[in-house]
Chains A and B, each alone.
Chain A
């Protein structure tokens, strides 16, 4: 079962095998990169004769930025605050943010998963990482991986809630882009 609400793929010409395989391929790659849950609808249009490859997707509601309280438990201790880290993946980002905010001399890390801050300001609400920006980066990487490798002229239009990725072997002309957008619109309305 597809985790997405809509996943349509259309391939021009007699390329049924390619259509089936690209469906699997896109799922595999998006799953590998952990992107599939953030995409609501996906429309893929491929024309091998042109040749052009286009992906249009609607994103699920935005991902909130990661704050200090998301990566660890913040406790008030004598002379400051203590953060007990639960998620070490963003450790480097966390330390950088704390250093910027409080200065290196006020941030102490006595053991691997504990950080103590000598300050009265609560760090719980500080932003550690902008997950949305990371997601968009991963998404672009995923789309480049999905597109056939020879299609090296690419165009990527990203908005807050959707993305349109077009790749072709020849130069992307405004007419070609308009035609592809028209195709995608037809698929959406079908």
Chain B
């Protein structure tokens, strides 16, 4: 069982952490260097965690659990106007990031209003490429209820946030509803506001657990971090992608940030030690995000084997 953790520490000797993780059979998902500090998102076999902990103690770094590591969460606002941004949306997105998730902020084109709120096919399928979505709504019960149409057709679990208390039974299409946020014009700084951010993270965590539990019934042919490692090794151009995170992990696959037309064959040809190619155990399609490549690993029921 791989455990998601986050390492924060000095840049000096952080290679030792990366080497140790690789030796232990773990994966480094993301590396962020900010001046003399480095933040690493790591998946580590849980039985080997004490080894990593002692190494990090030696380096005077910090290791915390990052329950959302290796997932991609969409934070959706009705539009990108000043009414919805920056405070709530950025606070939520940033808080999710601190817990390890890769967070994308999406502003709908016409998500505002009661009667006129709408979402189009492109937006829906873009959100569906994530592992979970957080929809940020406002302060009025009636408005939140009427905006149900925005997330009714989303197939990933949707956590809805808003101001007033609304019984869950009144929102059948939401995975969970987190109240007492809504539209605010200041940053979250009070303890109650931070507590509310914690509740959102917990709700997203539960949503991802539900997806994981569903996937466990029919496991993927191979794990997404393993595919990521293989792609990174065999398609070296990915390291030259201008994106801060050239390969974004999902629960059931990954997004390779290279142009689809030029690199799809290279990605499909990625080979594993067991003698299979990525094209045989996964679907490789154009992503709805820019012209990236999206890889979805097939479950064991379709390929007939797990490795």
Contacts and interface: CB of A to CB of B under 8 A. Distances in A.
A149 B79 contact: yes
A21 B184 contact: yes
A21 B182 contact: yes
Interface string B112-138: 111111000000000000000000001
B82 interface: yes
Interface stretch (B65-73, B139-147, B215-223): B139-147
Contacts of A150: 78, 112-114, 116-117
A29 B142 contact: no
B116 A169 contact: yes
B164 interface: yes
Nearest to B117: A150
B45 interface: no
Interface stretch (A9-17, A56-64, A68-76, A89-97): A9-17
A169 B146 CA distance: 14
A18 B185 contact: no
A49 interface: yes
B140 A28 contact: no
Interface string B177-212: 000001111100000000000000000000000000
Interface in A121-174: 145, 148-152, 169-170
Contacts of A14: 141
Nearest to A16: B164
Contacts of B116: 150, 169
Nearest to B180: A17
Contacts of A51: 114, 143
Report the interface size class on chain A. Answer: 20 to 34
Nearest to A26: B185
Counting chain B CB atoms within 10 Å of each CB, the highest count among A14, A145, A148 belongs to: A148
Per DSSP, chain B at the interface is loop
A145 B139 contact: no
Contact of B185 (A28, A49, A148, A152): A28
B146 to A, nearest CB: 9
Contacts of B115: 169-170
Given A18-B140, A169-B113, A149 B81 contact: yes
Contacts of B84: 149
B185 A29 contact: yes
A77 interface: no
A22 B184 CA distance: 8
Counting chain A CB atoms within 10 Å of each CB, the highest count among B78, B79, B116, B164 belongs to: B164
B118 to A, nearest CB: 11
Contacts of B286: none
A48 interface: yes
Given A15-B164, A18-B163, A51-B114, A148 B182 contact: no
Contacts of B165: 17
B142 A145 contact: no
A21 B163 contact: yes
Nearest to A145: B82
A25 interface: yes
Contacts of B55: none
B192 to A, nearest CB: 13
A97 B185 CA distance: 37
A25 B164 contact: no
Contacts of A25: 139, 183-185
B189 to A, nearest CB: 13
B244 to A, nearest CB: 30
A152 B115 CA distance: 12
A31 to B, nearest CB: 9
B83 interface: yes
B184 A15 contact: no
Contacts of A32: 185
Contact of A148 (B83, B184, B186): B83
A24 interface: yes
A149 B165 CA distance: 22
Given A24-B184, A28-B184, A148 B143 contact: yes
A24 to B, nearest CB: 7
B83 A15 contact: no
Nearest to A30: B185
9 contacts: A15-B139, A18-B182, A25-B185, A48-B142, A148-B83, A148-B112, A150-B116, A152-B112, A169-B115
Interface of A: 13-18, 21-22, 24-25, 28-29, 32, 48-49, 51, 145, 148-152, 169-170
